[in-house]
Amino acid sequence: MFLLYLDATGSADLRDVNTTHYVLAGVCVAKKGGRAALEAALKAVADRWRLDDPVELHAKDIRLDIREQGKVPDFAGLERRARRDAVWAVMEAKLARLQGLERRQYQVYMRAKRPILHLARRECSQVYEQALDAIGAQDGLTIFFDAVEKRHAVKVHGLGMPTPEVAFRHLVGRFVGFLSRQTHQQEKLVRGRLVMDNDPKDEALFQDLHTTYCRLGHELGQVDGVIKKPTFVDSKKSVSIQAADLVAYAARRYIERWDKRDAQGVCHEEKQFRRILTKLDRHGGHLHGARHLIDSRRCGCLICQERGYADAPA
């Protein structure tokens, strides 16, 4: 049995101009041994940086600045416990001044940031890098993702197919292909299960799509009897879902910024993406585990290059 932990990043709403892509990513591990090894590796990263237990490694929370740190005198010079207490005090003082929706939104922000209040920006970057390295170092772990440029998806599929459906359909097909290869290699039926973050926006859609694939089939293979009904879990309680979140975020940031380089010609998002690049599902010299749905004439990312859709940038 293989478990495919799935999470998404980026808005699927065409009106949201903050992200151009929606990325659905999956981290696949063997139910026996693989999941425990992955979660132990990520917990070791959390313990190294004294993050709260249970572990919460959410890419967006780690990567975005904690602006309240700038209001703590000599933040960098404080001991980590003193840093946490000082920043929390700044937050509580601000919360006391807020009302209504603003207050509720800020409470959500406080809960998300609390595990990492004691870490400076560079330290948060190191947590992110070490977590990606831990994922990339796992034996037997396989990564899948589908990166969909929202406007190009409309051109290809029309407005009748939501972007999450485009990504989910492709990922399910690739997972079916992976399980078929495992079945052939092991000479016995190998099954899989989808484990997803319980996002209310898409849960019903993904449930319905899985039911449809089981009843009517999928263009890339038989689903019924191979992939069991999806399980939805709270990402706060699943380190493996958090691993999928980290992968999805790294993939989207690279896909959207592959051509952005600093004065030394370095693409920092590419450096992060390469930490997990070798874990993408490949077979027979071909990349199966990742797709970038875009007008490939405009893209020179590593995925489009490897799939033969684009030339390497000069």
CATH of the domain at 296: 3.30.420
Q: What is the pLDDT of residues 276-308, one digit of tens each?
A: 999 999 999 999 999 999 986 678 899 999 988
Q: In terms of residue numbers, what domain contains 145?
A: 2-44+133-306
Q: Which of 91-105, 155-169, 207-221 has the highest mean pLDDT?
A: 91-105
Q: Using the 8-state DSSP alphabet, how is residue 68 labeled?
A: G
pLDDT: is 296 or 134 the higher one? Answer: 134
Q: How many residues comprise the chain?
A: 314
Answer yes or no: is 215 within a domain.
yes
Which whole number is the average pLDDT over 138-155? 93
181 burial level (CB within 10 Å; 0-12, 13-18, 19+): middle
Residue 94: pLDDT above 60?
yes
Which whole number is the average pLDDT over 47-57? 83
pLDDT number for residue 221? 67
Answer yes or no: is 279 within a domain.
yes
Q: Give the chain's domain count.
A: 1
Answer yes or no: is 106 within a domain.
no
Q: Per-residue confidence at 19, pLDDT binned at 50, 70, 90?
A: very high
Residue 312: pLDDT above 60?
no
Token pair belonging to 161:
């197919």
Answer yes or no: is 114 within a domain.
no
Of 272, 8, 312, the C-alpha closest to 145 is: 8
Widest distance between CA atoms in the chain: 65
Answer yes or no: is 298 within a domain.
yes
Distance CA 85, CA 62 (A): 18
Answer yes or no: is 287 within a domain.
yes
pLDDT: is 111 or 215 the higher one? Answer: 111
Residue 266: pLDDT above 90?
no
Q: Per-residue confidence at 149, pLDDT binned at 50, 70, 90?
A: very high
pLDDT number for residue 123? 94
Residue 252: pLDDT above 80?
yes
Q: What is the pLDDT of residues 168-188, one digit of tens each?
A: 999 999 999 999 999 999 999
Distance CA 241, CA 127 (A): 17
Answer yes or no: is 99 within a domain.
no
In the beta sheet, which residues pair with residue 282? Answer: 287
Of 170, 102, 182, the C-alpha closest to 142 is: 182
What's the mean per-residue pLDDT of the chain?
A: 90
Give the whole-number percent of the chain exceeding pLDDT 90.
Answer: 64
- Tell me the whole-structure pTM to 2 decimals: 0.91
Answer yes or no: is 231 within a domain.
yes
pLDDT number for residue 153? 86
Which whole number is the average pLDDT over 213-236? 79
pLDDT number for residue 314? 42
Residues whose CB is less than 8 angstroms from the CB of residue 6 and which lie 6 or more positions away in sequence, other chains included: 24, 25, 26, 171, 194, 195, 196, 197, 241, 244
pLDDT number for residue 296? 66
For residue 41, give the H/E element and its range: helix 34-48
Question: DSSP for 266-313?
Answer: --HHHHHHTTTGGGB-EETTEE-SEEEES-GGG---HHHHHTTSSPPP
The answer to whether 246 touches 128, Cβ cutoff 8 Å, is: yes
